[in-house]
Amino acid sequence: MVFNQRNLDALYEVNAADAVWHQPDQDLQGLEEVKRRLARPFEAFPDLNVSVENAIAEGDKLVIRYTIRGTHQGETEEFGPPTEKQMELKGITMHRFEGGKIVEEWERYDR
């Protein structure tokens, strides 16, 4: 919904406004910070697509194993000049829910 449809506003439908995302290199606090971080890959990889490989739910947690693919077509500070090469990233995310919304997320991926 967020990635494949390029709809960052959909974050508000499933996340609490003060959600915390624990990334491998930093913690993101609140949805505005998350939106800024997620916008960068959309610029560098306009064909970015996420495939969910597995999903397991138990109690207030949901774990998803995923694969992200895209072609490096846009220049950004983080990703540098376009290479036109295909990128593939595999990762696992665990979401914790309260009141039907994600309040905390832990992200691990292989760059």
C-alpha distances (whole Å) from 45 to each of 28, 36, 54, 63, 93 are: 21, 15, 24, 25, 21
Residue 84 tokens read as: 């036109």
Whether residue 111 is predicted with pLDDT greater than 80 in this model: the reply is no
User: Domains along the chain?
Assistant: 8-110 (3.10.450.50)
Distance CA 66, CA 63 (A): 10
Long-range pairs of 57-62 with CB within 8 A, sequence gap ≥ 24:
60/96, 60/97, 60/98, 61/94, 61/95, 61/96, 61/97, 62/94, 62/95, 62/97
Top-ranked range on mean pLDDT: pick from 1-5, 36-40, 95-99:
95-99
The size of the chain, in residues, is 111
DSSP state of 80: B
pLDDT tens, 4-47?
A: 888 888 999 999 999 999 999 899 999 999 888 888 888 899 99
Tell me the pTM.
Answer: 0.86
Place of tokens 């696992």: 92
Higher-pLDDT residue of 60, 2: 60
Q: Residue 63, SS3? A: strand
DSSP state of 9: G
